[in-house]
């Protein structure tokens, strides 16, 4: 029987690893969710899923998009590993090597947010657009950027959540980032918002003035990223952005903080098309991992 070529995709997160076999969001052969415990156990289960015999299909490449920081430099001795992280058990964990060794196919890898921007640009809210900025605002703040068809790897990889944002006058909240206090993540992530308000984010009423402050800080962060990367679309995602009233506030605040500097329709009448919500939502990273697999595949690579 002739077999069909498919990819394996793995999205690694702080609470779960989601894995799929397939070629696109509409061609999913198999999918599983594995709880994130220790690296040996979790990666072992990922490998077991990928290795499972499936008649009629052939796994030709795998893509892995995981939480970071991770080593993306192929010349480095720790390539394919998680770098020093607050999740101590995962600091130094080898992710790529065991998967590549056991499966014997090429493995592409990137951060979860770089994966997410690849997914959104392929099947989601930024199809065919380049450059694209993707920013997720949830338990942390993280960003990925697609520029000239590629995600950015360098000294490390972008860590957009830790950029500095100016304090809104009168706001004395010290921020919660253990490294920087009031960086973007320290001041505007879900836990920062909850700490400021003394209650979980879903319990903060939509008419609480804190939302305008939240929008203002996010706008300051997005302003810096727009001015640095010049994206043609900004895709926002994450648990905090699920508050339906927040997106219009962020758009308004962004126009205000840019103060007319970018004199284009995207920052005026067409801002609703320029700053948008993720279409793939929680699947963005997983589908991005599929793009990573496709790129790693010998046929396309
Ligand atoms: Zn920080």
Q: Do 153 and 97 share a domain, yes or no?
A: no
Q: Do 167 and 241 share a domain, yes or no?
A: yes
Task: Tell how far the Cα of 182 is from the centroid of ligand 1, in angstroms.
Answer: 7
| CATH, residue 102 | 3.30.420.40
The Cα-based distances of 166 to 12, 141, 143, 182, 230 in angstroms read 32, 17, 19, 9, 21
Q: Do 238 and 143 share a domain, yes or no?
A: yes
Closest CA to 143 of 218, 33, 248: 218
Task: Tell how far the Cα of 25 is from the centroid of ligand 1, in angstroms.
Answer: 34
Q: Do 81 and 141 share a domain, yes or no?
A: no
CA distance 38 to 31: 21
* Maximum Cα–Cα distance across the chain: 70
Task: Tell how far the Cα of 159 is from the centroid of ligand 1, in angstroms.
Answer: 9
Q: Do 134 and 273 share a domain, yes or no?
A: yes
* Domain-embedded: residue 122: no
Q: Do 158 and 287 share a domain, yes or no?
A: no
* Domain-embedded: residue 38: yes
* Domain-embedded: residue 108: yes
Q: Do 289 and 274 share a domain, yes or no?
A: no
Task: Tell how far the Cα of 104 is from the centroid of ligand 1, in angstroms.
Answer: 38
CA distance 253 to 258: 9
Please enumerate in sequence order all residues whose Cβ is within 8 A of that of 6, keeping only pairs 6 or more positions apart, or say none: 21, 22, 23, 27, 29, 57, 58, 59, 60
Number of folded domains that form the chain: 2
Its domain, for residue 286, covers 4-114+282-296
Hey, what are 34's tokens?
Answer: 């594995």
Q: Do 225 and 286 share a domain, yes or no?
A: no
**Alpha carbon 171 to its chain's center:** 29
Task: Tell how far the Cα of 179 is from the centroid of ligand 1, in angstroms.
Answer: 5
Q: Do 194 and 291 share a domain, yes or no?
A: no
Task: Tell how far the Cα of 15 is from the centroid of ligand 1, in angstroms.
Answer: 21
pLDDT the model gives residue 85: 84
Hey, what are 129's tokens?
Answer: 């657009």
Q: Is the pTM of this model over 0.85?
A: yes
* Domain-embedded: residue 121: no
CA atoms within 13 A on the CB side of 29: 20
* Domain-embedded: residue 301: no
Q: Do 110 and 146 share a domain, yes or no?
A: no
Hey, what are 217's tokens?
Answer: 């800080």
Q: Do 211 and 287 share a domain, yes or no?
A: no
Output the 3-class SS for 47-110: HHHHHCCCCCEEEEEEEEEECCCECCCCCCCCCCEECCCCCHHHCCCECHHHHHHHHCCCEEEE
* Domain-embedded: residue 172: yes
Backbone torsions φ then ψ of 133, nearest 5 degrees:
-110, 130
Per-residue pLDDT of the chain (301 residues; tens, 9 = 90+): 678 999 999 999 999 999 999 999 999 999 999 999 999 999 999 999 999 999 999 999 999 999 989 999 999 999 999 998 888 899 999 999 999 999 999 999 999 999 999 999 999 999 999 999 999 999 999 999 999 999 999 999 999 999 999 999 999 999 999 999 999 999 999 999 999 999 999 999 999 999 999 999 999 999 999 999 999 999 999 999 999 999 999 999 999 999 999 999 999 999 999 999 999 999 999 999 999 999 999 866 4
Identify the H or E element spanning 6.
strand 4-12
Task: Tell how far the Cα of 9 is from the centroid of ligand 1, in angstroms.
Answer: 29
Task: Tell how far the Cα of 221 is from the centroid of ligand 1, in angstroms.
Answer: 12
């Amino acid at each position: 029987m002739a077999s069909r070529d498919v990819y394996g995709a793995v999205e690694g997160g702080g609470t779960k690893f989601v894995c799929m076999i397939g070629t696109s969001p509409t061609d999913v052969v198999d999918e599983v969710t594995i709880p994130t415990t220790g690296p040996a156990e979790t990666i072992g289960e990922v490998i077991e899923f990928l290795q499972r015999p499936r008649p009629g299909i052939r796994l030709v490449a795998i893509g892995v998009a995981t939480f970071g920081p991770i080593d993306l430099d192929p010349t480095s001795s720790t390539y394919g590993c998680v770098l020093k992280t607050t999740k101590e058990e995962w600091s130094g964990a080898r992710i790529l090597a065991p998967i590549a060794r056991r499966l014997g196919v090429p493995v592409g890898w990137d951060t979860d947010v770089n994966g997410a921007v690849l997914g959104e640009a392929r099947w989601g809210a930024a199809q065919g657009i380049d450059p694209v900025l993707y920013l997720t605002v949830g338990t942390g703040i993280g960003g990925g950027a697609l520029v000239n068809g590629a995600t950015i790897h360098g000294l490390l990889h972008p860590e957009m959540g830790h950029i500095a944002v100016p304090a809104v006058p009168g706001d004395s909240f010290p921020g919660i980032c253990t490294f920087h206090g009031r960086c973007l993540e320290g001041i505007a992530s879900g836990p920062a918002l909850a700490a400021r308000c003394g209650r979980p984010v879903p319990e903060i009423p939509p008419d609480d003035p804190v939302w305008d402050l939240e929008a203002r800080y996010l706008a300051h962060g997005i302003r810096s990223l727009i001015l640095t990367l010049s994206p043609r679309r900004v895709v926002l995602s994450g648990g905090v952005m699920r508050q339906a009233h927040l997106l219009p506030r962020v758009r308004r605040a962004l126009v205000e903080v840019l103060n007319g500097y970018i004199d284009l329709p995207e920052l005026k009448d067409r801002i609703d098309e320029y700053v948008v919500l993720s279409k793939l939502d929680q699947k963005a990273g997983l589908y991005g991992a599929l793009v990573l697999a496709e790129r790693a595949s010998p046929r396309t690579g």
